[in-house]
Amino acid sequence: MTSFSLEEKVAVITGGSRGIGKSISSRFAHHGAVVHILDVDDESGSILAKELSANGSDVYFHHADVTDQPAILELFEKIYQTDQRLDILVNNAGIAHIGKLENTTEDDFDRIFSVNVKGVYNCSYAAIRYLKDRGGSIVNMASVAASLGISDRFAYSMSKGAVLTMTYSIAKDYLDDNIRCNSISPARVHTPFVDGYLKNNFPGREEEMFEKLSQTQPIGRMGKPDEIAALALYLCSDEAAFITGTDYPIDGGFIRLNS
């Protein structure tokens, strides 16, 4: 068996068709997992599943709104009945919001909470009964915003702080069930979201602003989705069997070296 093998493991990855989620889905499939991609983007999800399946992997796409608990419960039951096991859940689905307290509306706050917090709860709640069968791993996507103050990220920081503390609670409560739960806290990662943000907010200045944002990481660049995926793979593999209840910053030195 090769290192970091996910052979014979069944993984569910939310928000798994784009950006970081796409890289996680691809890497898990490459390392032998049966991958179920959950996303609201039908086009991207279907294309990715077909591409990975064409390369010999077992990958399936499911349209899923993580805020809809009845639909999520039904979907996880369907996945379990099909594969007769569930080993890995990666709670990656999330949305961003820019704004401080005074310009965050109630609708903004509720939307962020519904996806970033309730979505993690819904999927973890749906998965836990199946993970208890034989143990497994949950990885939650938090953020450096959960651990330190970032300007104009009030609601987003709130949501990722909740993800972080849910991680600790799940890890504590399910030790005896051999379920590990950890979180990953990226700093800025170069995804299509970043490109879209720059295009919409700084037309004609995209390259300048990209460089400026890159330099906020002490290492001098943004992270790459594949780098986050590599950490997720490790945390879900048997090589990480001694790790639970831990948050992993992957931030180019952002938390400790930005002074």
Q: Is 168 a catalytic residue?
A: no
Q: How many angstroms separate the most distant Cα atoms in the chain?
A: 55
Which residues neighbour 101 within 8 Å (Cβ) at sequence distance 6 or greater? 154
Q: Retrieve residue 68's tokens.
A: 């809809």
Q: Locate tokens 């400026």: which residue?
A: 212
The catalytically annotated residue of 121, 156, 174, 248 is: 156
Catalytic residue annotation? 156
